[in-house]
Amino acid sequence: MREDICDQISDQPDLDASDVEVKVQNGEVILSGTVRERRFKHQLEAVAERISGVIDVRNEIRLHREQQSEARTSSGLSSSERAATSTTGATASSATSIGATSPPETKNNESRRNAS
């Protein structure tokens, strides 16, 4: 049964299953590993279900998200963590800007009072 599944998978020219493992135990097929596109995950499950003798298919394949892992390694933060940091940073910058304009206004007000 495992051989039949693997043969059917390899007959699919547009299906990249190079990082997928197929296990069969008592009619249950377990698919694990990673694929680059969500459609591959579903295609693999469909191929396994079509094989004679398959009772159930457990699809444990995960979607490989290269962009997220690259983003995490290049900056040390995921995109959501960067968004949270930049929002926090913007708030801190705004607070600093507001604080920076206050003293000159105070000086100008004092100068005007002294000139009167």
For residue range 53-78, list pLDDT tens digits in order.
Answer: 999 999 999 998 865 455 455 555 54
At 51, give phi and psi (nearest 5°): -75, 135
pLDDT digits (tens, 9 = 90+) for 10-47: 999 999 899 999 999 999 999 999 999 999 999 999 99
In whole angstroms, give the CA distance from residue 47 to residue 50: 5
pLDDT for position 65: 80
Average the pLDDT over each of 4-8, 62-66, 86-90, 94-98 and give the range with the smallest value. Answer: 94-98
In whole angstroms, give the CA distance from residue 4 to residue 8: 6
- Say whether 29 sits in a helix, a strand or coil: strand
Q: Is the torsion defined by CA of 80, 83, 89, 95 positive or negative?
A: negative
- Number of Cβ within 10 Å of residue 77's Cβ equals 14
The number of residues in the chain equals 116
